[in-house]
Amino acid sequence: MSKNLSYLAGRKGAAKTLFEDLGIAAGETGTPSVERMEELRREFLVGKANVYGAVTFYDFLKPENQGKKVYVCNGSACLCAGTQPALKEKLQAHFAGHEIGEMCCLGRCHENSSFHYDGKNYSGNAIDEIDAIKKNKTPVADSYAVASKGTPVLTHPFPGIETCYAILKKFLQQPVEESFAELKASGLRGRGGAGFPMAIKLESCRNTNAEQRFVVCNADEGDPGAYSDRYLLEHQPHAVLMGMMMAGYLANATMGIIYIRAEYPEALVAIENAIGTLKQNHYIGENIFDSGFTFHFKIIKAQGAYICGEETALLSSIEGQRPEVRVRPPYPAQQGLFNLPTVVNNVETLANLPWIMQHGGKTFASIGTDKSTGTKLLSLDGWFNRPGIYEVDMGTPLDTVIHELGGGFREPVKALHIGGPLGGLVPVSKINDLTIDFESFSSQGFLLGHASIVCIPENFPMLLYIEHLFEFTAHESCGKCFPCRLGSTRGKEMLHKARTSDYKIDRKLLDDLLETLEIGSLCMLGGGLPLPVKNALHYFEDELKSYFSN
């Protein structure tokens, strides 16, 4: 990262960013013109290479995006469902080949056949209505099961705006020290995968001397197979927004930035509408509830880059830099957006705060296990009889999720990829050994992560699946560190060659590659990829052994 570029980006503050202007410039053709990039780089006092390097990184800004009209989802769930080749064939009857692009992932994992057209997402049988969709530009709503087993912290019905924000009013009346005590007592850990205690981030940010601080909601964690963030943004937006305001009060921050995936257009609209409601009711802005607390929101639309789910890459993105992972320390809580103290938390983590502050930290801690407190949202894909979003108390048996909530599998499945592309690859034989909490998955050699569940059917080649994981990592790598940038590409090439020819993989060579990725990568994109690959090599040795020379 360049500190100087961060300072330059901070001259205009969050009100006007280079990143947003680049997105606006790409609006008509799909990529900013050279002339407009030159104008913007002069306005923001950055070099041509900086602007060009940023633009060419994002899926929806780079020159290859020019002229695209429709996008097919290439996420893991749609891949395993096998729906996309037929979908693409149907789209080719309505669009020229060069007009069809790809997106990953649209969060329609519950019914697949997912595509994006004219700023809206479609899935399931929507492709059969493509003529009407093109003519009338009307959305086709999707639906999925939403239920809880245990305590409905995040899935309870919305009580109404006044009842909801009475919680915030009471919260703002109590001393910061008491609120911190409740948060610490809750044991709330980050729900994005790392499981880091939230209170430590907030306290560190508050204690760092600065004139301004930020709270950033990371709504760009685009793990293929996970759509729990989409659920919260679209159906529980006020839990997310109030959580950000509470985090701002605790961190002594006055600005909240919501960085939302471009692949979730409906979520953008839902959050915009919810913020509009808050403005109408005077629940945001200056001196909220006469408490002396000021807080403003800013929505930023992402432009298609999985690596922006990594908090430091996300901050670089907002600043208009190429979204490369930053070396830590310093951590964002001390030196984040525009080099100012910044708390970055994912959607689900923030959405827990209102419930904790309403019911108390000890009550939240009484749910779940000693080290994994509270509840967890899970995303179940289309291979389940009842796909959808389910909230369970931490510690709930995985078997209960699979068979009681999800209704079992509609066709035979051999493995579950849980926690996104970097999560554990769990064979069905291990279902009875796992419970939904960080420690259970870790002790068994897996990773709970975002807790999305992508099913790998019995007839889907495991070699093809792990090749897909290498290819995904290669495409999404920020390129800053060699192990991730080169290792993911070499791994993909090696597996593809073995799958499509008589080439045999040297197991020692592959093991060395995985070790280099694991210990040499700057972040969890390259560092986390070896976990599901190792799981596959261990549990599906019989299926894979014919591809190896030793």
Q: CATH number, domain at 53? A: 1.10.10
345 and 196 in a common domain: yes
Q: Is residue 150 part of a domain?
A: no
Domain end marker among 28, 48, 65: 65
In 3D space, the residue among 230, 29, 20, 27 whose CA is nearest the CA of residue 114 turns out to be 230
Task: Write the CA distances from 429 to 304, 381, 426, 456, integer angstroms.
Answer: 36, 19, 8, 13
Give pTM, 2 decimals: 0.96
411 and 265 in a common domain: no
346 and 199 in a common domain: yes
Q: Is residue 151 part of a domain?
A: no
Edge-to-edge strands, sheet with 424-427: 145-149, 388-393, 375-380, 452-457, 413-418, 424-427
Domain CATH number, residue 418 = 3.10.20.600
347 and 214 in a common domain: yes
- By residue range, what is the domain housing residue 492? 462-547
In total, how many domains does the chain have?
5
Q: Is residue 152 part of a domain?
A: no
Domain end marker among 89, 110, 143: 143
390 and 357 in a common domain: no
Task: Write the CA distances from 279 to 238, 286, 407, integer angstroms.
Answer: 13, 11, 42
Q: Is residue 282 part of a domain?
A: yes
79 and 17 in a common domain: no
520 and 489 in a common domain: yes
419 and 360 in a common domain: no
79 and 61 in a common domain: no
257 and 181 in a common domain: yes
Could you list the pLDDT tens digit for every one of the 550 residues in the chain?
Answer: 467 788 878 888 888 899 999 999 998 889 999 999 999 999 999 999 999 999 999 999 999 999 999 999 999 999 999 999 999 999 999 999 999 999 999 999 999 999 999 999 999 999 999 999 999 887 888 899 999 999 999 999 999 999 999 999 999 999 999 999 999 999 999 887 777 899 999 999 999 999 999 999 999 978 899 999 999 999 999 999 999 999 999 999 999 999 999 999 999 999 999 999 999 999 999 999 999 999 999 999 999 999 999 999 999 999 999 999 998 899 999 999 999 999 999 999 999 999 999 999 999 999 999 999 999 999 999 999 999 999 999 999 999 999 999 999 999 999 999 999 999 999 999 999 999 999 999 999 999 988 999 999 999 999 999 999 999 999 999 999 999 999 999 999 999 999 999 999 999 999 999 999 999 999 999 999 999 999 999 999 999 999 999 7
47 and 100 in a common domain: no
417 and 289 in a common domain: no
